Amino acid sequence: MGRIAYVNGRYVHQAEAVVHIEDRGYQFADAVYEVWALFGGKLADPEGHFARLERSLSELRIPMPMTRAALTTVLRETVRRNRVREGLVYLQVSRGVAPRDHAFPAAHVAPAVVVTVSRVDRDATDARAAKGVSVVTTPENRWGRCDIKTVGLLPNALAKQKAREVGAVEAWFVDDLGLVTEGASSNAWIVDGDGILRTRDTNANILRGVTRLSLIDVAREAGLKVEERPFTPDEARAAKEAFITGAGSLVLPVVAVDGKPVGDGAPGPVALKLRRLYIERAKASAI
Ligand code: PDD
């Protein structure tokens, strides 16, 4: 069975799914997206992702294409038709289709909606977590509104490619102050020498990661101290542990930054425990 996508009101075979060549998402990256992790066919962290979707759309003055309830039905139905239990759901909403003109279309256009589902091999990702991953750093070169989850991801794609070419899994952007902002598709964390969990604050130009927010809760419930305070790549290497969070990576230990080990170069107990606790909580609250 081939994969099924939802495209503007219809469920279609992905090989036959098409979007208009004048979709503003295609021409101007005038579109936002969300990614949900799927556990047992259910959407993890639903509230956080819907809230961020609504915020991203409202910052760009794109209307919600349908109610949350209707969107939930569409996401679930796309998952069901693909028969995926462990995976990811991708939703993209663009401003819609209009003759090419940078400013918004004068007349009302309906937002264009696409949903796809992909399978994740959780055994493989658990094995990756048990080994830990490497990251590389790269100068921050993105626009000033990384809090909006737009499909304008060229700097992220280039950074990820840079990482891949040296066998790393993620690239961390480093801003003009020499501080890590976040990863190309994840948030960045360390466990510092005092055992304090640190991740960049949301006043900085970063995406407000849904996994990040849940994990702050999970960590505090587990009695850990969390500070939204930046760190440098040197501080990451000198830290006890480092890790990344995101719908794709969940919680993934980082064992090297720019080819130099973090701590003793092996995944740390805090990151591995938080991974387990996060997954437990995500499964319990998935819808
Ligand atoms: N990326 N920072 C960036 C730049 C991201 O693209 C992502 C997610 C995150 C983590 O956010 P969350 O915890 O809400 O997934 C942080 C998704 C998974 C992607 O682009 O595929």
Q: What is the DSSP string of 113-138?
A: EEEEEEE--HHHHHHHHHH-EEEEEE
266, exposed or middle or buried, with CB in 10 Å at 0-12, 13-18, 19+?
middle
Give residue-wise pLDDT tens across range 59-104.
Answer: 999 999 999 999 999 999 999 999 999 999 999 999 999 999 999 9
Residue 106 to residues 31, 101, 102: CA-CA distances in angstroms? 17, 10, 11
* Tokens describing residue 202: 């949301």
Ligand 1 center from residue 160 Cα (angstroms): 13
* Ligand 1 pocket mutation pick from 92, 185, 249, 251 by most atoms within 8 angstroms of CB: 185
Classify domain 125-285 by CATH number. 3.20.10.10
DSSP at 15: G
Residues of the chain with CATH 3.20.10.10: 125-285
Q: How far apart are CA 71 and CA 65, in angstroms?
A: 8
Please give the distance, rounded to the nearest whole angstrom, from the Cα atom of residue 175 to the centre of ligand 1: 18
The tens digit of pLDDT for each residue in 24-51 reads 999 999 999 999 999 999 999 999 999 9
Question: What CATH architecture applies to the domain 4-120?
Answer: 2-Layer Sandwich (3.30)
Residue range(s) in the chain whose domain bears CATH number 3.30.470.10: 4-120
Active site residues: 149
For residue 98, give the 3-state DSSP assignment.
coil
Query: pLDDT tens digits, residue range 107-154?
Result: 999 999 999 999 999 999 999 999 999 999 999 999 999 999 999 999
Atom of ligand 1 nearest to the CA of 149: 6
Pocket of ligand 1 (CB under 6 A): 35, 156, 182, 185-187, 207, 209-212, 245-248
- Give the C-alpha separation, 203 to 226, whole Å: 16
- Under the banding of pLDDT at 50, 70 and 90, the label for residue 278 is very high
**Tokens linked to 105:** 């279309």
Residue nearest to atom 3 of ligand 1 (CA): 185
Share in percent of the chain as helix, strand, coil (round to 5): 35, 30, 40
Task: For ligand 1, pick from 32, 34, 35 the residue to mutate: most ligand atoms within 8 Å of CB.
Answer: 35
Residues 94, 26: Cα–Cα separation, whole Å: 9
